[in-house]
A and B are shown apart, each in its own frame.
Chain A
Amino acid sequence: MVYVKTQKTKAYFKRYQVKFKRRRQGKTDYRARIRLINQDKNKYNTPKYRFVVRFTNKDIIAQIISASIAGDLVLAAAYAHELPRYGLEVGLTNYAAAYCTGLLLARRVLKMLEMDEEYEGNVEATGEDFSVEPTESRRPFRALLDVGLVRTTTGNRVFGCLKGALDGGLDIPHSDKRFAGFSKDDKQLDAEVHRKYIFGGHVASYMRMLMEDEPEKYQTHFSEYIKRGIEPDDMEGLYKKVHAAIRADPTMVKSAKEPPKEHKRYNLRKLTYEERKAKLIDRLNALNARAQDDADEDEDDDE
């Protein structure tokens, strides 16, 4: 074995300072978190809510969270996998679905706090920049957008979710610079383009293009859409219905499934000392038996 100079000596490990656990896992941006959570001291225990949007490969998670020393408390949550309940079964992670999820969360929170009559928000989604107007009786529900570790480029789906929440009636400080349809040259938001994205227009135009140019790819790519008979022209109507259904009944439905009594094991169980010794003995026996057989064969060959 060639002598390899150890790069990481014992001294290195003794002096190494680990980052915070969630930073090591790459899940939390502490610089942003400190600034989002910090509440003015002269507001004492008034909670400061963050509108958290996270995307997984197949789902969208939107939550309203307030921080506490024991752990963050979730006031309300909405998931994209709840959208089938409102009539949207495919395309659960696109811009339009993000809009629906944000809208669902906003209506849910307002209903929970009994503010939903006061703050209707923007019932007809036009794509224009809309901010809630405070009414006389109560101030609107305020939350701060928490994107996590996502790169905030123009047209990102987190801003689709943000638009959904704004139209739902939440007060979230924002600017229209990062909505889909904002052109850097004009420095203006093109409401028409944004509206197209909110109603899945970009998906519809891709569907039309594929249908004409590459029908096989269209069949594989949009198989679920085809299975449910969704045409590119139906998209807008479909999303309009989903928005209306969300506004009609945003309450959360607990799933009827019971949690499994015994948790499924995802990694191997560690062996006990006896089991490891037994394994070693078995391995040695097998090795000896094979060596014995080889020795017998050699003897036979020699003879």
Chain B
Amino acid sequence: MPAGHGVRSRTRDLFSRPFRKKGYIPLTTYLRTYKIGDYVDIKVNGAVHKGMPHKFYHGRTGRVWNVTKRAIGVEINKQVGNRIIRKRIHVRVEHVQPSRCTEDLRLRKKKNDQLKAEAKARGEIISTKRQPEGPKPGFMVEGATLETVTPIPYDVVNDLKGGY
């Protein structure tokens, strides 16, 4: 009998619910709001059969471009052949989580604004640029003893003692 390449083929483990997390899904998934331009992760919830994306999109991150009654339009990049296409899919909210990819940036922006405001109050000019990790500073080695090692002249008898 041939293999079959249906929409949900090869998703036996991918779409299955994790151990001891089956049944009703927690309500925060329904209470979250999404705005256009937000980044979201797609993670398929096998308990909800409607509005499931194709297995390719599981684990991808995209931006929201549309918000409807129960679903969200997400724009995701997909490589097709030799180019990357921006694909627009609609996914129900149960299969979507807010992405934390921009969280670091948002926190840094907030902190930088705060630092700049403080510096302005003090009248200094500061740079809020991130610096890459430089080389480690020099240090003195403590508690080291010096042992001078010299070669000894070659001794045939000693070497052949092993066995011949």
A residues sitting closer than 8 Å to B (CB atoms) are 15-17, 19-20, 30-31, 33-34, 37-42, 44-45, 67-69
Contact = CB atoms under 8 A, between A and B. Distances in A.
A67 B31 contact: yes
A31 B34 contact: no
Contact of A34 (B30, B68, B69, B71): B30
A41 B28 CA distance: 13
Contacts of A37: 27, 30-31
Given A40-B70, A41-B69, A42-B67, A30 B30 contact: no
B30 A38 contact: yes
B33 interface: yes
A199 to B, nearest CB: 40
Interface in B1-41: 20-24, 26-28, 30-35
Q: Specify which of A37, A41, A45, A68 lies most central, judged by the most chain B CB atoms within 10 Å of its CB.
A: A41
Nearest to B92: A41
A41 B33 contact: yes
Contact of B32 (A15, A34, A69): A69
B70 A41 contact: yes
B93 interface: yes
Contacts, number: 47
Contact of B68 (A42, A45, A68, A69): A42
A31 B31 contact: no
B27 A41 contact: no
A17 B72 contact: no
Interface residues of B, number: 21
Chain A contact surface mostly = loop
B34 to A, nearest CB: 7
B31 A40 contact: no
Contacts of A31: 24
Contact of A41 (B21, B23, B68): B68
Interface in B76-120: 93
B33 A45 contact: yes
8 contacts: A17-B22, A33-B27, A34-B30, A38-B30, A39-B30, A39-B31, A40-B70, A41-B70
Contacts of A38: 30, 70
Given A17-B22, A17-B23, A44 B33 contact: yes
Given A16-B20, A68-B31, 18 more contacts: A17-B20, A17-B23, A30-B24, A31-B24, A34-B27, A34-B30, A37-B30, A40-B69, A40-B70, A41-B34, A41-B67, A41-B69, A42-B69, A44-B33, A44-B35, A67-B27, A67-B31, A69-B32
